[in-house]
């Protein structure tokens, strides 16, 4: 595992390569004798490397780590929070919209993804980054939009986005114009147009968040699954993400209109066959869930209608 100082005082701790998800990155902020961790990764990765990197910078993980900040509660971002708290006593901070994923980790499989019983069982055996293999814990602090968290002389602003998941937040450090974007901007490496949302998420909130964040002065965009974007590349990333979400909505509308009526299985088949949008390939439920959430958003906009029994139509 490698650690890289992306910009002065901000380090990327890279875990193992996780296939389609790329490298799972945890961020460590060090300033004036204090440290803050953003997204501690899975239950085992980057694991002890986080404490090791804190020690390398002359700090004591048990006294100088002032917090464990989670952009959201998915296993590949917050699964390692409990272990890190046990080893350091640092408080875990997360938005209330995703706090249930810490206290009831199994709810990620039962409430956040469209899965049948067999699929949930298969996920328990899977060794991928979305595996739930840790006990429930209660967060120490609930984050709120606009809240400021101090680490050394730096101030980290909490911005609730709620697109990727109900409780998703991004964190903005204004001195160096740095945005820690979690999964809201770059959900997968190498293609910002590829994304998924969980059952609590919202396509409308995701688009609104992208527009809002794009208006900030951001020189450094630090996602959890991709390489950082710097300066002129940042606006391009935001535009690509927005284009990807809009294109996905248009694709669902187009396929639904062509069939007149369709259920989720039919729409998923059409999306995969058409290859018109980049989609998650490692886990079928990510696409199914995202299609459903998109249909709900389109329904709220008056563009589609739920006919019951899982069948949808355009209006």
> Chain centroid to CA 151: how far?
23
Residue 227 has pLDDT above 90, yes or no: no
Secondary structure percentages of the chain, helix, strand, coil, to 5: 35, 25, 40
H or E segment and range at residue 239 = helix 233-259
Shared domain check, 183 and 114 = yes
Cα separation values, 147 from 73, 141, 144, 311, Å = 18, 12, 6, 42
Q: Give the tens place of pLDDT for each residue, 146-157.
A: 999 999 999 999
Shared domain check, 186 and 41 = yes
- Residue 158 phi, psi (nearest 5): -90, 125
Residue 279 has pLDDT above 70, yes or no: yes
Residue 30 has pLDDT above 90, yes or no: yes
Shared domain check, 284 and 162 = no
DSSP 91: P
Shared domain check, 285 and 225 = no
Shared domain check, 120 and 18 = yes
Number of separate domains in the chain: 2
Shared domain check, 183 and 82 = yes
Residue 42: name the closest of 224, 208, 205, 165 by CA: 224
Nearest-angstrom CA–CA distance, 284 and 289? 9
How high is the pLDDT of residue 82? 98
Shared domain check, 203 and 254 = no
Shared domain check, 154 and 50 = yes
End-to-end CA distance of the chain: 52
Residue 217 has pLDDT above 70, yes or no: yes
Nearest-angstrom CA–CA distance, 280 and 287? 6
Shared domain check, 229 and 108 = yes
Give SS3 for 78: helix
Shared domain check, 257 and 170 = no
Confidence of residue 230 (pLDDT cuts 50, 70, 90): confident
Domain of 305?
Answer: 246-314
Give me the chain's average pLDDT, please: 95
Residue 1 has pLDDT above 70, yes or no: no
CATH number at residue 282: 1.10.10.10
Q: Give the tens place of pLDDT for each residue, 83-126.
A: 999 999 999 999 999 999 999 999 999 999 999 888 888 887 78
């Amino acid at each position: 595992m490698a650690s890289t100082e992306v910009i002065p005082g901000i380090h990327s701790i890279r875990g193992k390569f996780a296939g389609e998800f790329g490298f799972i990155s945890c961020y460590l902020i060090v300033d004036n004798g204090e440290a803050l961790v953003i997204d501690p990764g899975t239950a085992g990765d980057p694991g002890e490397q986080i404490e090791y990197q804190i020690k390398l910078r002359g700090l004591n993980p048990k006294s100088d780590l002032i917090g464990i900040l989670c952009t959201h509660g998915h296993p590949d971002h917050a699964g390692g929070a409990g272990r890190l708290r046990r080893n350091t006593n640092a408080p875990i901070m997360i938005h209330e919209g995703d706090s249930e994923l810490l206290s009831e980790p199994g709810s990620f499989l039962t409430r956040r993804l469209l899965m049948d019983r067999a699929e949930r069982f298969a996920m328990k055996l899977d060794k991928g980054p979305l595996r739930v293999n840790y006990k429930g814990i209660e967060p120490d602090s609930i984050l709120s939009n606009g809240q400021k968290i101090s680490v050394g002389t730096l101030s980290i602003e909490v911005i609730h986005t709620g697109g990727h998941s109900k409780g998703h937040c991004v964190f903005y450090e204004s001195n160096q114009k740095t945005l820690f974007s979690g999964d809201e901007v770059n959900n997968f490496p190498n293609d910002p147009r590829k994304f998924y949302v969980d059952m609590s998420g919202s396509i409308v909130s995701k688009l609104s968040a992208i527009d809002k964040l794009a208006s900030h002065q951001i020189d450094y965009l630090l996602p959890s699954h991709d390489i950082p974007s710097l300066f002129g590349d940042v606006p391009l990333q935001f535009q690509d993400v927005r284009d990807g979400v809009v294109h996905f909505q248009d694709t669902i509308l187009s396929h639904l209109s062509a069939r007149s009526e369709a259920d989720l299985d039919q729409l998923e088949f059409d999306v995969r066959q058409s290859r018109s949008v980049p989609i998650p390939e490692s886990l079928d439920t990510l696409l199914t869930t995202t299609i459903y959430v998109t249909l709900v958003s389109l329904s709220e906009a008056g563009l589609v209608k739920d006919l019951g029994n899982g069948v949808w139509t355009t209006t």
